[in-house]
Amino acid sequence: MPQQQKSEPSHSIPVWGVFLLFLGIVFLLQNLKILPWGLWNVLWRFWPVLVIAIGLGILLRHRNPWAVSGIILLIFLTCLGIAYWQYTESPSYRGGSKSYAVPLNNLASAQIKIDFSAGKLTAGNLSPSSLNLAEVNAGSGNGSGIIADFSSQGNAGNLQIATESVNRQFWDETNWRIELTRRIPLKLDIKSNVGDLNLDFSQLMLGDLQMDLNAGSCSLGLPPPMEKTTANIKANVANLEIMIPEGVAVRIKATGNLSNLVVDTSRFPKKGDYYVSDGYSTSPNRLEIELNCNIGRVEVK
């Protein structure tokens, strides 16, 4: 009687698990500022490699699953290295730049709304002698620039700045530098998706700040308050660092889920639900900060 041939055991190759591991590595390196967020402008072009990985998982299902998983992860990491090389070596991924300026004229106050997409945003303070409300220089990976809309009513101005959306994909990187006047009180409303933000508002006359951050990192320098300055900050999957000047009377309230909150309690001891600086209750100028952060790290110092 013929001997029955034994079939080789079949294993399940966790291709999707390896892919998620790869994505986690990329996001971690971007949060640590080792990789630029604009790298997605190049990396997405390697999507056929995922199909190749699935095919390898099927063809090699009779092999050691750990060895096959290692091979697939190595392929993904090789693609990451090639994408990074292409991003840094080819200027076509960094595009041109556009600039925009708004004169101050007779404005006594202004509200500025910034809607920023993936990339890098650097904000600072104009020189005291500048006669402009705002100056913006924008460059992006696909050559698109900025859309600005300014209006005024009496001596109050309203400026809205957004990323130009023509032929734009979510992975395209924008590189903005915005400088704002320090001569009049400002209200700022900033929204960012997948960004690396460096915001130095330490010299501004800031009355109100609203921020909505999603998937990125942000360094925020706040100015001394004007009577009562409020800052409402919402951050999701973001690393946030807030710097407060010495001697400022401040009260901080933080809520959220799965966030690592680090507060300098030598400056802002915790009292109930708040972190409160000494002399807050008697100071004529106060800074109120409300944080709502989910999945990320927040440091206040």
Q: Is 44 helix (H, G, I), strand (E, B) or coil?
A: helix
Contact status, residue 10 vs residue 59, Cβ threshold 8 Å: no
- Residue 222 DSSP symbol: P
pLDDT band at 225 (very low <50, low <70, confident <90, very high): very high
pTM recorded for the entire structure:
0.71
pLDDT digits (tens, 9 = 90+) for 258-281: 678 999 999 999 999 999 999 899
| Euclidean distance between CA atoms 58 and 67, whole angstroms | 14
CA-CA-CA-CA dihedral for 246, 247, 248, 250, to nearest 10: 100
pLDDT band at 6 (very low <50, low <70, confident <90, very high): low
Contact status, residue 231 vs residue 287, Cβ threshold 8 Å: yes
Residue with token string 């056929």? 48
pLDDT at 10: 57
pLDDT digits (tens, 9 = 90+) for 62-88: 778 888 888 888 999 999 888 888 766
Residues 6+ apart with CB under 8 A from 278: 269
pLDDT digits (tens, 9 = 90+) for 99-156: 889 999 999 999 999 998 777 889 999 999 999 999 998 765 554 567 888 999 999 9
**Helices (DSSP H) in the chain: which residue ranges?**
15-31, 40-43, 48-59, 65-89
Contact status, residue 147 vs residue 161, Cβ threshold 8 Å: yes
Residues 6+ apart with CB under 8 A from 298: 235, 239, 240, 241, 242, 254, 259, 260, 261, 262, 291
pLDDT at 68: 83
* Mean pLDDT value of segment 245-270: 91
Residues 6+ apart with CB under 8 A from 207: 109, 185, 186, 187, 226, 229, 230
Residues 6+ apart with CB under 8 A from 22: 73, 76, 77, 80
pLDDT at 16: 86
Q: Is 104 helix (H, G, I), strand (E, B) or coil?
A: coil
- pLDDT over threshold 60, residue 171: no
